[in-house]
Chains A and B, each alone.
Chain A
Amino acid sequence: MANATLTRHDAAASGPEPAHRRRGRRHRGEDLTKILFVLPAALAMIALFGYPVVKNLLMSLQDYGLRTFFTGEAPWVGLKNYTTVVTDQLFSQAMVNTALFTIGSIAFQFTVGLALALFFRRRFPLGNLLRSLLLLPWLLPLIVSSATWRSILEQDSGILNRTLTGLGIIDDPVPWLNSPSVALIAVIGVNIWIGIPFNVTLLYSGLAEIPEELYEAGQLDGATGWLAFRYITWPNLRAVASVLLVLGVVYTIKVLDIILGLTGGGPANATQTLATQSYERSFIDFKFGEGAALSNILIAISLVFAVLYLRATRRAVDE
């Protein structure tokens, strides 16, 4: 049918330039091929990101719970899920923990990462090999890192406490993951360890792009050491650094694996974050509406930083 229409249309046009018409038809077929290039990926993105976002928005306005899976009914409840999760006494603690976890992780990942990147910029034997081996913690599955750190931080027989008591730094073993007052610090510490390699890699590549001549010119003006860093390195690194920091926030704020593997949100909810709370409400309590409401709050916070991120990348592209 489509073919017939096409032929009739072609015959009716009966233009003086058959070659041009042929090209036109080929173009139309080509547009279709071009669409087919993108179609699978577009469908995948819609199914894996578009659908979940919409579905979460809808679920957060529904009483979507265990019963829904049997009856198929999910009554609309307006903003009830949001008020339930926000007025929960755990919410403010989860917010504070999320903020502490994110800020603490990024501050140290970035400063240590920058120090190491600067160090590896000095050329020395084996430097490149050592720098690439440094990436290993970032490549390990997060649950593997969690398991390893669980064994290191084990209260009675873990190597950290045994070493610290052996050196006489502490008298009694520190309950790293078992005490509400230190668990969050321990979890942040592990996350810093995981994130340093990524920061080193990106900052190193940022440093490598700063032209050598700037330093040579600076040297003539007496800008060496700290002055060179302050007036040459840092201004030229700002674009990469801002992208890295915002990206860090967006990635860190949703971390779930490490916390579940290390503490499961405990002890006494000391390491609960928005992400762990959302997981628990959906998959432990089977209150998907409330879990969705929490994860939407998480997205809203991420979105603020997403805007910052896009601005930062645009600036990075402009420069």
Chain B
Amino acid sequence: MSDSTVRRGIYTVIGVLILCVMLFPVYWMVNASLQPSGNTLTAGFLPLDPTFAGYRRALSEQGQNLVTSVIIAAGTVVLCLLVSAPCAYALSQFRSRWVGIALLAILVSQMIPGIVIANALYTAYERLGLLNSIPGLIVANCSSGIPFAILILRSFMLSLPPSLVEAARVDGAGLFRAFVAIVLPISKNSMITAGLFTFLFSWSDFLFALTLTTKGGVRPVTLGIYQYLGTQVQNWNAVMATAVLSAIPAIVLLIAAQKYIAAGAIGGAVK
């Protein structure tokens, strides 16, 4: 009995060590962000003399870009959920031979490299005047959000009994009314999962930010970091402070929505 308790204790210690190794870079990012400015990284293992100079600089130089990223990510969430939720419902409840074809199309869409989408959208946006615009980036980011959201929402909606909606239909509600009044509220958790991941995808987007903007105006924070890294890095603490600020959504997601994450990872990949 006590033998197995000891063994389990040892496993916990090993588990903590594994985690320390895997998360060391994340720790190092925080540590380096608290160091005094300079183009060398003389930081010790602990921020014994922490300074927030890096954060002050990051906020003054990247604050606007952070706001841009929030707006784009939020816009992507709204647009993706509006488009994906009805489609996911249809793919889960309607009987049609098109369902299989649609799912196949979604799977195949995952094989298409982002650079292909960027190539085509650039030429289209150039004509439509959507380069360097927030709506342009929101639409582009939907390319990662919509297929994922459809798959996540559909895998939940498959479990809804058709009788649920039929009851409302008997009372005279149209299909769409029933969907909004009954299906959406019940699907709240899966909507949250899909929304959180879509936010994260859009927030993390770098490729579209890089290719679909050509001048200063609209610049998501990922692009800001890239430009910091551009040539010789001048102020590591500001770079790392920006990195920490950009990591906040991921960290919040991990802590606040832990139970949704594994569901999202598995649902999006295997389903």
Contacts and interface: CB of A to CB of B under 8 A. Distances in A.
Interface of A: 30, 33-34, 36-38, 40-42, 44-45, 47-49, 51-53, 55-56, 59, 64, 69, 116, 119-120, 122-127, 130, 132-152, 154, 156-159, 193, 196-198, 201-202, 205, 240, 243-244, 247, 250, 253-254, 256-257, 260-261, 275, 278-279, 282-283, 288, 291-292, 295-296, 298-299, 302-303, 305-306, 309-310, 313, 316
B15 A202 contact: no
Contact of A126 (B15, B116, B242): B15
A36 B175 CA distance: 11
A266 to B, nearest CB: 12
B129 to A, nearest CB: 13
Contact of B262 (A132, A243, A260): A132
A53 B114 CA distance: 11
Contact of A133 (B19, B25, B108): B19
Contact of A157 (B41, B90, B118, B147): B41
B194 interface: no
A278 B240 contact: no
A307 B94 CA distance: 27
Interface residues of B, number: 95
Interface in B130-187: 139-140, 142-143, 146-147, 150, 174-176, 179
B243 A37 contact: no
Given A144-B29, A147-B228, A127 B82 contact: no
B113 A150 contact: no
Nearest to B179: A37
Interface string B28-62: 11001000000011110000000000000000000
A295 B262 contact: no
B1 interface: no
Given A144-B246, A159-B43, A136 B23 contact: yes
B229 A299 contact: no
A205 B266 contact: yes
Interface in B206-220: 206-207, 210-211
Interface string B184-216: 000000000000000010011011001100000
Interface of B: 8-9, 11-12, 14-16, 18-19, 22-23, 25-26, 28-29, 32, 40-43, 82-84, 86-87, 89-91, 94, 98, 102, 104-124, 126, 139-140, 142-143, 146-147, 150, 174-176, 179, 200, 203-204, 206-207, 210-211, 222, 225-226, 228-229, 233, 236, 239-240, 242-243, 246-247, 250-251, 253-254, 258, 261-262, 265-266, 269-270
Contacts of A136: 23, 26, 250-251, 254
A57 to B, nearest CB: 10
Given A52-B120, A132-B254, A148 B29 contact: yes
A-B interface, 3 closest residue pairs, ranked by CB to CB distance from nearest:
A41-B87, A52-B120, A141-B204
Contacts of B111: 250, 299, 302-303, 305-306
A60 to B, nearest CB: 10
Given A33-B174, A69-B126, A52 B112 contact: yes
A49 B113 contact: no
Contacts of A47: 139
B226 A260 contact: yes
